[in-house]
Structure 1
Amino acid sequence: MREVSVGTASAVHRRARVAGDTTAVVYEGVEITYAELSDRVRSMATALSRGGLRAGDRVAYLGLNSALLLETALAAAHLGAIFLPANFRLAPEEVSYLLHDSGTHTVVAEDGHRAVIDGIADGSPARRFLLGDRDPLVPASPDAHPRWERLSAVTEGVPRGEAVKAGADDTAVLMYTSGTTGRPKGVMLTHGNLWWNHLNVAGAIDVSPRHTTLAVAPMFHIGGLNAFTLGTLARGGTVVVRRSFDPAQCLADLVTYRVNSVFAVPVMFTALARTPGFAEADLGALTAAVVAGAPVPGQLVRDYAAHGVRLQQAWGLTETAPFATCLPPHLIGEHPDSAGFPMPYTEIRLTHPETGATITEPRVPGEVCVRGPHVTPGYWNNPEATELAFDSSGWFHSGDIGYLDDQGLLHIVDRLKDMIISGGENVYPAEIERVLAAHPDVRDVAVVGVPHPKWGETPIAVLRQDPGAPRLGVEEIRAFAGERLARYKLPTAVTHVEALPRNTSGKLDKVALRAWVLSEHATEAVGA
């Protein structure tokens, strides 16, 4: 049988041939048709190839969400090269690590991030530096270092070649983990991984082939790039791209563009729900609102349901491209705290964190393991990490703790590494956080474990409240949480902050938070 390309670039080119005048991307209000997008991708691919980029080489992108980011990703796929979207908030040393670890050949950057590259370019493996200069929102500086070639110059008038056939096992994207527990690992995602996620989404979430999605989550994370964005382009839909998330703009876009699908992390959906005008907004077109990437409070799901929006909790990781489970809309009211059933082409099982034995009993926590064609084949240049992540039967060990209820629905409890052992009992911070998040005077909450002379470790709650609100004390918090949690799980101290540290995916930075709590002396402690 003739090999068929499963690359998104090939799908965009096919769409351009059959319906080129339909809108592919709306970037900050400017419409780009499939014909225009295909032409841009072909010319950029030619320019990259003329600079020596070949199949398997890495091309890094540094900048915010933009049409250029998508064009770079698709041009890499067109050539069979590997796209590396770098976190634009990283420090120069961190970006340098990514370039060295990946052996990046070409860097594409927005002008606002040129200085980061200039500070590390001389020692990097990169052989070519391309500066985006066609975006009116990000004009290129006229005094850029001579190492930078302007994209408009190198893409002007070049011939347009045909895309390579992207095989299912060919690496498409190299995406680095956040690195909150150590050096980031490069997750290899193949064209097949991305394609099978598209099938999973189509089989479990209400998306039509030509629907409109809103891309506001950062696309250097897998949720922003492949929850809906690439799949929408592959199916001939429209992607509305915003450079970053602004709650008021997001709400306006959902209404104006009659958006059908959106992916965001919990903190983004929380901010959106508190935006003036949210209660009156017509969100009737929004059939697929998916929340993942961090623990999801059940109250958040209930708040959206009260507005007629079925907020579906999903679970997955960069390594699963991204979805492994999703809660069906008809079960939201009954199970707002659940991450749902396995996706159509996904297997899930739970194992004992210490013995590795498979857990079959309902409501018994264990490490969530995943197997399926959307799961990464491993980590870039890191066989040791790959071997640790996969067992002999091909199950990927996620590091997340969860349980299956009587219906087989997955409930995520916490990260294995965040687990607190207090008096011999396992205490999961995320479980406590979900309970405290329901308190009407709590705006944000995190729980971390600290040493305790009697119990070994004990949980401490870190709260953010509205300015001027009466400070909640530890006794009030324990009384509130004690209605839903065992006594050994109750926080023994409370401290207050103006903002909780989060990484760019919206996840709590527990490493930074724990270090701060350990150095903080103004806590109100009680015996437990």
Structure 2
Amino acid sequence: MSETPWVKSYPAGVHWDANLPVSTVPALLHDAVARWADQVALEFMGKQITYRELQHLVDQATKGFQSLGVKPGVHVGLFLPNTPHYVICFFAILQAGGTVVNYSPLDAEKVLAHKIEDSQTDLLVTLDMVMLYPQMAGMLSHTRLKKIIVGNVAEMSPYPEAINANLQKAGQLSAIPLDAQHQLFASLIDNDGRYQAIAETDPAETIAVLQYTGGTTGLPKGAMLTHANLTTACSQILETTNVEPRILEEGKERVLAVLPLFHIYALTVDMLFGIRMGAEIVLHTRFDVDAVVKELAAKKITVFPGVPTMYAAIIQHPQIAEFDLSSLKFCNSGGAPLPAQVLQKFQSLTSCNLLEGWGMTETSPTGTFTPASGLRKAGSCGLPTPGISFKFESIDERGKYVGLGERGEICVSGANIMKGYWNKSDATKEAFTDDGYFRTGDVGYMDADGFVYIVDRTKDMILSGGFNVYPRNIEEAIYLHPSVAEVSVIGIPDDYRGQAAKAFIKLKAGQSTLLFDELKEFLRDKLGKHEMPQEIEIRAELPKTPVGKLSKKELYDEEEKRRAVKRI
């Protein structure tokens, strides 16, 4: 049996053993400026910033950061939505030799404090929005955080005074103290941009980003992503588009960046790959389906990376048929398995292939890709991305790999795989096999053509009556019901079976009820008896992660609290 059975399924022009250029992350921007200096790099609220202008802003921020002591070994936090501040500061911190630590505005106070202490963040950038600044201001008194650089949304807009007045009137701005613990972003970049160049570093060893992973339990761990990890991922994505006719043209694409840039998916696919391609990146601070649908049509967006919940919202938009989405050329879904119903409906509406991929924070986040042409398989997340090797470790016997068609924990190897977990040598050792493959925690299998199928997370797998039950199978079946918009399935304790499946369901607009007996009857020919949910709960909304994918952590926590109350 071939060790790379997926290679035979690659479309013409795409090569698994392709040369994948590696560089420092700032070099991506330097190269883009050299090629497309006067083309638009960023568009935000109607204001356009060219690549030349973006590089100058980055240079100014670099000098500002260096004046604050940022250099190799220094970690700087970013607590920002999708505004130009994020892009500017990200590249400037790295250009100064520092390391970026991404923070999510949706993190609880306990998690924010943990990340600050664990990552050794003394300096952080945020905005003066009430939804952001107060959370970090509180950290100044009881964590190691020493200084906050505070930006303003309006300063990056075409009409700063008018927009600031509207934000102030709406009560969305916080007052910022003028003291030693604060500095305005405008002050940070108030210089000539002549920064001190740092010594050349090894991209494979130098950490660019500490990207914290959520996980289902416990406090998050910081994945150490090197410059080589991130630039390799960009090269891998580019190689997957090397089909004829070409999907993407360098210097000619327009990306809609709605996914939050502090998440690894958007960081790599929207921002870094966008800059590698010389694209215009249109920034949105949040996902609003009305605004997104209008922007896709009006701005003639060609590239739209998203998650399944976004695509589901787009196809359910009541006026979707009225918008011309024919400009779309490259749409990718990641973050969670894509329901087949959503895939088919989106493609029929837009005539654009919706390509599914799988990856993780620890893989920067490339892993698999769906071929843009040639063989595709429903239900599969695609083929291993160029430069990545896959193995499947037995769930029952660690250290033993299983063959094609057999389910196991997915283990991957490649230049995009993280260096390890920050300050957690034991967790790092546990995460890798003896032969150097990263254990992903995902259960899946590979067919004879090399296509990968994700079955579930090892932590989410339900052991019911001696059977391994995979929530993903149940969710796919429930999604077929015409009343269901979203569903998450988790395992709950069951006196008879040990564990049983419970489905949390959000109904489509206009649907008010779904009886449990009705759902069970609908599922009777779609699921085995051991897979049948034993409980359902209808909700107005289901919990989601910052990137917009459905999250089960909150559901597990709620069920545990509910059971604790019953025990009392």
The two structures have a TM-score, normalised by structure 1, of: 0.92
Task: Find the aligned partners of 1:276 and 1:475 in 2 and give their Cα distance.
Answer: 30
1:157 to 191, 194, 199: 191
Task: Find the aligned partners of 2:188 and 2:338 in 1 and give their Cα distance.
Answer: 45
| Alignment of structure 1 residues 203-352 onto 2, 5 Å | 203-205=239-241, 206-210=247-251, 211-307=253-349, 308-330=351-373, 335-352=377-394
CA separation of 1:453 and 1:345: change in aligned 2, threshold 3 A: same
User: What is the letter of the counterpart of residue 147 of structure 2?
Assistant: R
Residue 11 of structure 2 is aligned to residue 6 of structure 1: no
Which residue number corresponds to residue 72 of structure 1?
89
CA separation of 1:431 and 1:440: change in aligned 2, threshold 3 A: same
1:86 to 103, 127, 148: 103
CA separation of 1:216 and 1:283: change in aligned 2, threshold 3 A: same
Give how far 1:145 is off. 4.8
2:177 to 113, 135, 144: 144
Q: Deviations over 1:84-125 (max 9, x none)?
A: 121012233321211111111321111122211221113332
**2:22/2:228 contact within 8 Å kept:** no
2:235 to 199, 202, 212: 199
Residue 65 of structure 2 is aligned to residue 32 of structure 1: no
Give how far 1:247 is off. 1.0
Q: Deviations over 1:3-27 (max 9, x none)?
A: x982232332343344321111112
Residue 125 of structure 2 is aligned to residue 108 of structure 1: yes
Total equivalences in the alignment: 516
Which residue number corresponds to residue 524 of structure 1?
none
The two structures have a TM-score, normalised by structure 2, of: 0.86
Over the matched positions of the two proteins, sequence identity in percent amounts to: 29
**2:334/2:356 contact within 8 Å kept:** yes
- SS of the residue corresponding to residue 243 of structure 1 reads coil
Residue 63 of structure 2 is aligned to residue 46 of structure 1: yes
Give how far 1:384 is off. 1.1
Residue 144 of structure 2 is aligned to residue 125 of structure 1: yes
**1:10/1:78 contact within 8 Å kept:** no
- SS of the residue corresponding to residue 202 of structure 2 reads coil
Task: Find the aligned partners of 1:175 and 1:277 in 2 and give their Cα distance.
Answer: 38
**2:62/2:193 contact within 8 Å kept:** no
Give how far 1:467 is off. 6.1
Give how far 1:142 is off. 5.2
**1:368/1:399 contact within 8 Å kept:** yes
**1:166/1:191 contact within 8 Å kept:** no
Task: Find the aligned partners of 1:468 and 1:199 in 2 and give their Cα distance.
Answer: 45
Give how far 1:478 is off. 2.3
1:491 to 511, 530, 533: 533
Give how far 1:274 is off. 1.6
Task: Find the aligned partners of 1:141 and 1:448 in 2 and give their Cα distance.
Answer: 40
User: What is the letter of the counterpart of residue 223 of structure 2?
Assistant: V
Gaps of 5+ in 1: 522-528
Give how far 1:156 is off. 1.3
CA separation of 1:238 and 1:143: change in aligned 2, threshold 3 A: closer
CA separation of 1:78 and 1:484: change in aligned 2, threshold 3 A: same
Which residue number corresponds to residue 525 of structure 1?
none
User: What is the letter of the counterpart of residue 353 of structure 2?
Assistant: R
Q: Deviations over 1:339-361 (max 9, x none)?
A: 00000111111111231311113
Structure scoring higher RCO (CA < 8 A, sep ≥ 6) equals: 2
Gaps of 5+ in 2: 1-20, 168-172, 242-246, 564-568
Task: Find the aligned partners of 1:166 and 1:435 in 2 and give their Cα distance.
Answer: 50
- SS of the residue corresponding to residue 100 of structure 2 reads strand
**1:319/1:375 contact within 8 Å kept:** yes
